[in-house]
């Protein structure tokens, strides 16, 4: 397990799982939202699909990785690159609690 793709809907636990696996395996993890919308000094912007794939391919060249995010057409290449794919299907009631907790923390 050197190249892991974690896919799931919002609040399914992708980031939590990716962080834990990253620490345990000593492998870098990447949030796909940050690939799509990188932070710059001028703020966030949206990369084109081709730019997203280019960033992903450059990361892939460096060796082991963990990517996590929702399923988007622009990074379907990860399904071919990954040696392990984890799909999180967390129940709606649990995701609602997580979203609600997140909203309370942010306010």
Q: Where are the alpha helices (DSSP H) in 11-76?
A: 14-25, 32-36, 49-61
Domain of 50? 3-106
pTM of this structure: 0.86
> For residue 20, what are its two tokens?
């834990």
Q: What is the pLDDT of residue 42?
A: 93
| Count of domains forming the chain | 1
- Name the average pLDDT for the chain: 92
107 band by pLDDT with thresholds 50, 70 and 90: low
Q: How far apart are CA 30 and CA 18, in angstroms?
A: 8
Half-sphere exposure of 91 (CA within 13 A, CB side): 3
pLDDT tens per residue, range 68-100: 999 888 889 999 999 999 999 988 888 888 887
Domain CATH number, residue 21: 3.40.50.300
């Amino acid at each position: 397990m050197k190249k892991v793709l974690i896919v799931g809907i919002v609040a399914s636990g992708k980031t939590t799982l990716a962080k834990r696996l990253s620490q345990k395996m000593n492998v870098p993890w990447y949030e796909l939202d940050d690939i799509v919308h990188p932070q710059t000094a001028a703020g966030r912007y949206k990369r084109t699909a081709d730019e997203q794939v280019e960033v992903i391919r450059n990361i892939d060249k460096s060796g082991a990785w963990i990517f996590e995010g929702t399923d988007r057409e622009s990074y379907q290449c990860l399904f071919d690159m990954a040696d392990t794919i984890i799909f999180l299907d967390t129940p709606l009631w649990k995701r609602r609690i997580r979203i609600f907790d997140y909203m309370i923390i942010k306010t």
